[in-house]
Amino acid sequence: MMKGNKLVLAIPKGRIFREATPLLKAVGIEPEAEFDDPESRKLSFTTNKYGLNIIRVRSFDVATFVALGGAQLGFVGSDVLMEFDYQEIYAPLDLEIGKCRLIVAQTKETLEIDSPSRSSSMTVATKYPEVTKRYFAERGVQAECIKLNGAMELAPALNLSRRIVDLVDTGKTLAVNGLKEIEQIADVSSRLIVNRAALKTRPKLIGGWIKSFTEVVNGQKVK
Amino acid sequence: MTDTERNTLLPAGLSDILPEDAAFEAETVDRLISCFSMHGYQRVKPPLLEFEESLLSGVGVAVEPQTFRLMDPVSQRMMGMRADITPQISRIAQSRLVDAPRPLRLSYAGDVLRVRGSQLRPERQLTQVGAELIGSAAVEADAEIIVMAIRAIQSTGIEKLTVDLTMPRLVQLVLSRYGLSENNNQKLRQALDRKDAKAVSGLAGKAGHELRILLSATGVAHDGLKILKLAKWADDRAKEIERISCVVDLLTKNVPEIQLTIDPVEHRGFEYHTGIGFTIFSQDPAVEFAGGGRYRVKGVETEDGERATGVTLYIDSIMTALKRPEPNKRVYIPIGSPFSCIARLHDEGWITVSALQPVDDVDMAAQNQKCYYVYDGNELRHVKGLD
């Protein structure tokens, strides 16, 4: 149960984390020193703002914490919001960090043999089964998803699936593993998300943070 | 399946409510509904099951995906288990009570069953207590329902509440003005639901400007209304905004202690609503306690049909915020005590728990039965060993 004026901001580990710290600084949030220490086992950190704590969790879990009200604010990739359409989450601001793309890829060899537009079903290895099913269904293809949590690029070579749906940044990992991008599903960037009930019950506080982050993101664009 | 599983596992989202909690819930429901009757709302009791055609027509269309069906072996017709009671009340208002004088004030309490739970409420069987005010289009009716719901919740001892007012029609009006429709514009609807201003701008074309104003007005009611009133609106939208402004005034006057917010783009949870909608939140914990708003008894598809507004209180979430009082009115009656004493104690408001056979240690037996007092032939004494 949330007590008093406590506010929790959830930030994903990994890719987005590095780009998130300058943003925090720009809005005046200074986490305790251990926050920047990747070796630290701590999961929750105090900040210079009274009552504001930051938690560091997995990207998909940011959305879960915010949806269930464990955290009131969060940074999360739009890929996660596409996978889980949580009703309890608002995503008012594009933070313009963590930019990458969600794509479909397959091996260069199979590319000539079959094109995705001619199959009625296919196996796809992915971390995003919902997005994948929806995307292929719109094209009249039944996607049989194999849920993997990482190293999707291995799946075609080891005969788990013909295709993969994954995030790419530069496309290097794809190339190294003999894969070629065939379609793009979406552009991805990180969003500021807020819990619905928190925004309704503490409109000034949460609204204030949305405003601060918006000003910083817009300001950076001008520069 | 193990034996324990076979005997005790319940289907997902269903649960047993045990002693003390069950009694406390029943007391709370009584308190809430009696608050409605004090305001002149008369109780009705619709059945659990109805034929599909009647249950899922009109207002009921919106809850169709959440409805359990079964076949009536007698009439060989499909029946639906109610997933919401409001559609049943509007059916009653249009049929059996069509000649009753208006405005018609009805209340109800009962359980509903849903095919799926939500993220926040995994329960599939929910208890609803509600009230409907049928046959008035006045803003005073909107205010009456909201104020009464607040008073009812406050009567349980919960103090800090927030009311969020919504105008589900406003977005529809803006979209249709620019030749867009909500139904075939799911991406835009999703962007609005998420309050993603950038995506809304990208998807809405010419409607973008007005939608962005609506988005920016989300928040504290007085600030939001200022933003809305600064902009120039065509007649139909101006009317909606004027209406919500009147309701805000009435609420500020009547329940000044309540924090008011507005949200001109909120849509989820207001599928059958056609005018001002609202959600009542508790502030700590931040959860939804009640929701409701304006609708037409014949449903959203038609422009005719009586105007109505109503509220549903979500008993399950209200219960999570309440602390159950200690059961300290229980008295242990040792064997051999006269039956007349039991009747006298009941008149005085005590709960009696009678022994069925002699025991060695009366105090221990009393404690086991959760009694704080023992009747010792003449009067009540505290159970020994309890503070």
Q: Which residue of B has its CA nearest to A211?
A: B216
Confirm or reject contact between B164 and chain A (CB < 8 A): yes
B279 at the A interface (CB within 8 A)? yes
* Interchain proximity B162–A201, CB inside 8 Å: yes
- Closest-approach residue (CA) in chain B for A69: B286
B339-376 pLDDT, tens per residue?
889 999 999 999 999 999 999 999 999 999 999 999 98
Contact assignment for B197 to A93 by CB distance below 8 Å:
yes
- The pLDDT, as a whole number, for residue A115 is 60
- Domains of chain A plus CATH, in order, are 7-98+189-222 (3.40.190.10), 100-188 (3.40.190.10)
Q: Residue B42: inside a domain, yes or no?
A: yes
B130 burial level (CB within 10 Å; 0-12, 13-18, 19+): buried
Q: Mean of the per-residue pLDDT values for chain B?
A: 91
Q: Spell out the residues 6+ positions from residue B34 whose beta carbon is closer than 8 angstroms to its own.
A: none
Query: Per-residue pLDDT for B146 more than 90?
Result: yes
List chain B residues with CB under 8 Å of A195.
286
Q: How many CA atoms lie within 13 A of B313 on its CB side?
A: 31
Question: Are B277 and B168 part of one and the same domain?
Answer: yes
How confident is the model at residue A12, as a pLDDT?
Answer: 94
| Chain A 139-178, residues with CB within 8 Å of chain B CB atoms | none
Which of B118, B119, B121 to mutate to probe the A interface, most A CBs <10 Å?
A: B119
The mean pLDDT of B37-54, rounded to a whole number, is 96
Residue B186: inside a domain: yes
- CA distance linking residue B163 with residue B4, whole number of Å: 45
| B90 in a structural domain | yes
B128 in a structural domain: yes
Identify whether B98 is part of a domain.
Answer: yes
pLDDT of A2 reads 42
**Same domain, residue pair B123 and B74:** yes
Query: Within this chain, do residues B15 and B144 fall inside the same structural domain, yes or no?
Result: yes
Residues of B in contact with A208 (CB under 8 A): none
> In terms of domains, do B269 and B369 share one?
no
Please check whether residue B23 lies inside any domain of the structure: yes
Of B194, B195, B261, which has the smallest distance from its Cβ to A203's Cβ? B261
CA nearest A2 in B: which residue? B285
Which of B194, B220, B263 faces A91 most closely, judged by CB atoms? B194
Residue B4 maps to a domain: no
* Arithmetic mean of pLDDT, B124-135: 96
Please state the rounded mean pLDDT for residues A180-186.
92
One domain, residues B191 and B260: yes
Q: Output the domain CATH number for residue B84.
A: 3.30.930.10
Work out the minimum CA distance from A68 to partner chain B, whole angstroms.
6
Contacts of A87 in chain B (CB under 8 A): 118-119, 193, 268
Q: Are A207 and B286 an interchain contact pair (Cβ–Cβ within 8 Å)? A: no
- ipTM exceeds 0.95: no
Does residue B137 carry a pLDDT above 70?
yes
pLDDT at A4 over 60: no
Q: Answer whether A2 touches B (CB < 8 Å).
A: yes
The CA–CA distances, whole Å, from A61 to A52, A150, B28, B385 equal 19, 15, 36, 49
Closest CA to B191 of A94, A62, A135: A94
Least CB–CB distance from B195: residue in A85, A88, A92: A92
Asked whether residue B153 falls in the same domain as residue B165, the answer is no
In the predicted structure, residue A223 carries a pLDDT above the cut 50: no
Q: What is the DSSP string of A37-106?
A: -TT----EEEBSSTTEEEEEE-HHHHHHHHHTTS-SEEEEEHHHHHH---TTEEEEEE---S-EEEEEEE
Whether the predicted pLDDT of A221 surpasses 60: no
By residue range, what is the domain housing residue B370?
330-382
B91 and B143 both lie in a single domain: yes
Residue A220, pLDDT score: 65
Residues B313 and B337 reside in one and the same domain: no
Q: Which residues pair with A164 in a beta bridge?
A: A105, A125
pLDDT digits (tens, 9 = 90+) for B316-339: 999 999 988 877 789 999 998 888
Q: How far is B217 from chain A (nearest CA, A)?
A: 11
Average pLDDT score over residue span B86-111: 95
pLDDT at B50: 95
Task: Give the residue-averaged pLDDT of B95-113.
Answer: 96
Chain B interface, mutation test: which of A73, A196, A221, most B Cβ atoms within 10 Å? A196
Question: Count of A–B CB contacts within 8 Å?
Answer: 68
What's chain A's average pLDDT? 89
Same domain, residue pair B201 and B308:
no
Interatomic CA distance for residues B185 and B171, integer angstroms: 12
Query: Does the distance separating the beta carbons of A201 and B283 come in below 8 Å?
Result: yes
Residue A222 clears pLDDT 70, i.e. is over it: no
For residue B2, being part of any structural domain is answered with no
In sequence order, what are the residues at sequence separation of 6 or more whose Cβ sits closer than 8 angstroms to the Cβ of residue B117? Answer: B12, B13, B123, B124
Above pLDDT 70, what percent of chain B?
Answer: 97
Confidence band (pLDDT; 50, 70, 90) for A58? very high
How close A114 comes to chain B (CA, Å)?
31
d(CA B306, CA B308): 6
B118 & B37 share domain: yes
Are B21 and B134 in a shared domain?
yes
